[in-house]
Amino acid sequence: MRERRRSQGGAAGRLARGAVAAAALLAAWPPGVGGLAPGAARAEEAPVEEAWKGEFADVCSRTQDAMTLSDAELKGLVQRCDALKPRVEALGEPLRKVYLRRLQVCRELYQFVLDSRAAGAAR
């Protein structure tokens, strides 16, 4: 009976220790060694990736403040979303699908706020 408990607890314990060891190894791994640089898939993709991601982050970071932005700011954000869309569409399939949907949601929110204000002003 004691052997049985030890083997069951031992397997779970070994699994937990292995996960902790793997996490510690990845955390201590030097950036750029073996192609495991954080956030960079391949060296040639990094500059292109950074260019659109900065714009994407800036445009979509204002969704929480959409109701407090002026109409001019909202129109500018909608235009920036439209300008960013072709750059996101040029990405590979997994990134394109995720970021294109997120960009669409950001744009639709800004447009909704503009439309709701226009409808409220028309009343």
- Rounded CA-CA distance 56/43 in Å is 20
- Rounded CA-CA distance 98/117 in Å is 29
- Rounded CA-CA distance 54/52 in Å is 5
- Rounded CA-CA distance 65/8 in Å is 52
Rounded to two decimals, what is the model's pTM? Answer: 0.60
pLDDT per position as a tens digit, 3-37: 555 544 554 444 344 443 434 433 443 444 344 34
- Rounded CA-CA distance 31/40 in Å is 10
Q: 């929110």: which residue's tokens?
A: 109
Q: What is the pLDDT of residue 122?
A: 81
More confident residue, 63 or 30: 63
| pLDDT category of residue 70 using cuts at 50, 70 and 90 | very high
- Rounded CA-CA distance 3/10 in Å is 10
